[in-house]
Amino acid sequence: MTDEADTSSAAAPPPQRCGLVAIVGRPNVGKSTLLNALVGQKVSITSAKAQTTRHRITGIRTVGSVEEGGAQFLFVDTPGFQTKHSAALNRTLNRTVQGVLSDVDVVLFVVEAGRFGLDDAKVLALMPPGKPVFLIANKLDAVLRRADLAPWLKGMQERHAFAEFVPLSAKKDADVQRLLGIVQPYLPVQPWFYEQDALTDRSERFLASEIIREKLFRLTGDELPYTSTVVIDKFEEEGDLRRIAATIVVERDSHKGIVIGNGGERLKRIGSEARQELEKLMDAKVFLELWVKVRSGWADDEAHLRSYGYE
Ligand code: GDP
């Protein structure tokens, strides 16, 4: 090597950043749209490895490469903000939210640009102190008079010491890329947790659990606590046939009832919608068997819920 300037840079490997990012906000502000755009694909991902920690990873975005440095953004699952439940369960849930948020690296607090209501305020109240919280003013494309945003922004800055203010449209790719660039310096310098191509390397088995999970939560609305999980018991390939057996694991008998529905109606629908989507994704015929089981060994959580009078 003849270029002197190169010797120093060769000695220090380029920094790799990796960290946890949470996306929060009241329903309908565009959180899932933003997550999908950030991750760059429709189906979210959960890793078996990630589930052994406190967090469920719903999406991974890797920018750059090991050689050049770059960043890996791990998006974590945060339970939705529940409005239909009793105050007791809300309090339990809020604690869960705060638990998740207290050890992520960045929180993206999403609102609709120019609006801030009681529902938004309830979510903002959950932000742990000292955590970098970005104000994501989404649906900028729907704001007719941009000039009105200035006083709104000033008001927002008085509500919380936001680390960054990012007006954007989750539906505009350039905006989403810009957001990644703003988040990047907030992630700790540490090796990536996942392979660079973690997202493209998903197994069909894994895909099956994700699709069932997606249907489960979509068809139960916010009746079902997010701690419910899907376990694949059997995954067999016979030519272009997949035989899949899965168990939906819930915490309580009442949750089991929610999943099963009247006369088994809901479970049937979860199964048939999941099967149809899996057939499309795998380009194969799918036989899907679904079971619902109440998890044992959750005594602590049960006691916790009961202490708030929730049965
Ligand atoms: P979530 O409940 O917070 O996850 O919200 P969703 O991602 O489901 O979005 C709620 C609605 O807002 C959907 O109809 C989206 O298409 C719409 N939406 C999301 N982002 C934008 C945006 O940037 N601009 C506009 N105009 N609509 C958006």
Within 10 Å of residue 149's Cβ, how many Cβ atoms?
17
Residue pair 145/175 in contact (Cβ under 8 Å)? The answer is no
pLDDT of res. 180: 96
User: From CA 230, how far away is CA 290, in angstroms rounded?
Assistant: 10
pLDDT of res. 15: 84
Between the CA of 146 and the centroid of ligand 1 the distance, in Å, is 19
Average pLDDT of the chain is 79
Average pLDDT over residues 107-132: 93
pLDDT of res. 23: 92
Burial (CB count within 10 angstroms: exposed 0-12, middle 13-18, buried 19+), residue 206? middle
pLDDT of res. 27: 85
pLDDT of res. 41: 56
Residue pair 208/234 in contact (Cβ under 8 Å)? The answer is no
> Is the model's pLDDT at 257 over the cut of 60?
yes
SS3 248: strand
In the chain, what are the domains?
A: 17-186 (3.40.50.300), 204-307 (3.30.300.20)
pLDDT band at 196 (very low <50, low <70, confident <90, very high): low
Nearest atom of ligand 1 to the alpha carbon of 26: 3
- Residue list, ligand 1 pocket, CB within 6 Å: 25, 27-33, 138-139, 141-142, 169-171
Within 10 Å of residue 307's Cβ, how many Cβ atoms?
10
Q: What is the pTM assigned to this prediction?
A: 0.64
Between the CA of 36 and the centroid of ligand 1 the distance, in Å, is 11
Would you tell me the crossing angle of helices 299-306 and 87-102 to the nearest 10 degrees?
Answer: 130
Distances (CA, A) of 263 to 56, 212, 214: 32, 20, 22
12-35 confidence digits (pLDDT tens): 667 889 999 999 998 889 988 898
Between the CA of 8 and the centroid of ligand 1 the distance, in Å, is 47
Residue pair 295/247 in contact (Cβ under 8 Å)? The answer is no
Residue with tokens 């970005």: 134
42-92 confidence digits (pLDDT tens): 444 433 333 334 566 777 888 887 777 889 998 887 765 444 444 555 677
Percent of the chain with pLDDT over 70: 78
Residue nearest atom 12 in ligand 1 by C-alpha distance: 30
Between the CA of 102 and the centroid of ligand 1 the distance, in Å, is 26
- Mutation to probe ligand 1, out of 28, 31, 33, 179 (largest number of atoms < 8 A from CB): 33
Between the CA of 30 and the centroid of ligand 1 the distance, in Å, is 4
pLDDT of res. 68: 79
